[in-house]
Amino acid sequence: MRRLAVAAAPWLVLAGSVAAGPGGREAFVFTSLAGDARGAALGVGAAALVEGEGAVWGNPAAAPLKLEYTAGLTHVSWTDGFIGESLATMLPVGEEAVVGVGGAFVLHDPVTVTSEILPDGTGALMRPLGVQASVLGASFLHEALAVGAGVRVVHESFGDTAIEGMALDLGGVWLPDPSWAVGLAMRGFGGTIQSRTSRDPFPMTFDASVRYDPPEWIPVPLRAWGGTSLALWGPTAGGLAVELGDWYGAFFRGMVELREGHGFGWAIGLGGRRDQWNLDYTLAPAGELGLVHRIGLTLRFTKRLKPGGE
């Protein structure tokens, strides 16, 4: 981990460890900032149960919980100088399965590369870059059990220093009754990240989430999540999240987390929904690095085939 932190620069290590959202649990991977606005507002507690295109950044088995042909674009803006874009799309295959792809890049304002950041620092201005791509497939085995798998590739560069890696994401979702859902995922399995001088394990996490949907006779449209992320190469975290809606197509979301070594974290989000699109916004603090803003637009191209999603 120390060698990777040196290669990616210490401030990138901190950035990855405090970013909210399903992708923010891998402490020293720059591209962990990728993700959708709704998933970021729900955080670690819901990471293994974010449906549809959001599953590209979390549990692949959660993708068929929203069997729709959708495409989602999320813009990330960080007051410390980060900007980025994430794009994910899902395509139903029949009435039980989906395939999906996702990609993201994150940039930072140019920084001066000194020997304190990299051993061969020259004082020149360089712009850090992170790129991530994922492909997944998932299907219901029967009406109460879904499984999925994905392949994730990352590339990070800082001047002449590059870090690359590839790993598997595996998961399952169990629906014991209409009000409850349980998700389990293993992310970063079997892969390595390497630069010119080092080779290290891909940061692997075990994620677990539980979701509760109150029955329809309860007048308040509320969904609640709770879960944890056990990280082998990074901070362990646990969290709770809620989503209130649908009032005339409007949603309110929020989460709180407890992160190993970083204390409490939180995020709040708003959403709007119409027949063919969703618009979401999330705000999350990132300690001394400022605030993270995410704005997401999701387009829906087909009618829903199975209940699920928002």
- The identity of residue 28, as a single letter, is F
How much is the pLDDT for 6?
Answer: 35
pLDDT of amino acid 172: 98
Q: What is the pLDDT of residues 68-104, one digit of tens each?
A: 899 999 998 887 778 889 999 999 998 899 999 999 9
pLDDT tier, 232 (very low <50, low <70, confident <90, very high otherwise)? confident
The type of residue at 2 is R
pTM: predicted TM-score of the whole model, two decimal places: 0.83
The predicted pLDDT at position 41 comes to 94
pLDDT surpassing 70 at residue 244: yes
> Residue 118: what pLDDT?
54
Contact in structure between 158 and 113 (CB atoms under 8 Å): yes
At 164-214, the pLDDT tens digits run: 889 999 999 999 998 999 999 999 888 777 766 677 777 788 999 999 998
Instruction: Please give the backbone phi and psi of residue 301, each rounded to the nearest 5 degrees, phi first.
Output: -105, -10
Q: Are 60 and 138 in contact (CB under 8 A)?
A: yes
The whole-number pLDDT of residue 241 equals 97
Residue 143 sits at the vertex; the CA angle it makes with 139 and 148, to the nearest 5 degrees, is 20
Task: Indicate whether 31 pLDDT > 60.
Answer: no
**pLDDT score of 123 more than 70:** no
Which tens digits make up the pLDDT trace of 156-173? Answer: 887 777 788 899 999 999
Does residue 282 carry a pLDDT above 70? yes
Of 183, 266, 179, the C-alpha closest to 223 is: 179
Q: Predicted confidence band at 13 (pLDDT cuts at 50, 70, 90)?
A: very low
Would the pLDDT of 1 be above 50? no
Gyration radius (Cα) of the chain, Å: 19
- Cα separation, 82 vs 298, in Å, equals 22
Query: Percent of the chain, pLDDT > 70?
Result: 80
Asked if residue 7 has pLDDT above 50, the reply is no
Beta bridge partners of residue 275, listed in sequence order: none
216: CB partners within 8 A, 6+ apart: none
Cα separation, 170 vs 264, whole angstroms: 28
